[in-house]
Amino acid sequence: MVMMSLSVGSCMASTDPTAPLGWRAPNVAKSVTAKPAVRLNVQSIVCPDKAECHAIINQRVLSVNDYIAGHRIQAIDQDGVWLFKQGRRLRLTLFPNVVIR
């Protein structure tokens, strides 16, 4: 009888010596990979006289309150676009601030 209990114990010891008899590890769900971030590129801004401005971002013509990549467009002016997502404001400019010397 003692021999039998030792053989069961040695079988379980190869997996987890502290696990209760008959216990099996739960199946682990596969992790979900995050979507790659979308680069937002302002290609053009059109502001006709006394009319609302439109922006072309990633080849889409957009106006205020439109959405792109989960961001809501708050404002468009001649110099750039204000976006809003999850409590954060983001400013996209038509021309990046690059200084060449």
pLDDT at residue 9, rounded to an integer:
46
pLDDT value at 69 more than 80:
yes
* Structure token digits, residue 24: 């099996």
Per-residue model confidence (pLDDT) at position 66: 96
Q: Compute the distance between CA of residue 83 and CA of residue 40 in angstroms, rounded to an integer.
A: 11
Mean pLDDT for the chain? 80
List C-alpha distances in Å: 66 to 29, 46, 49, 75, 84.
36, 16, 21, 10, 11
How confident is the model over 11-55, as pLDDT tens digits?
444 567 787 888 787 777 776 677 777 889 999 999 988 789 999
Q: Choose among 92, 96, 97, 98: nearest CA to 56.
A: 92
First-to-last alpha carbon distance for the chain, in angstroms, is 87
pTM to 2 decimal places: 0.58
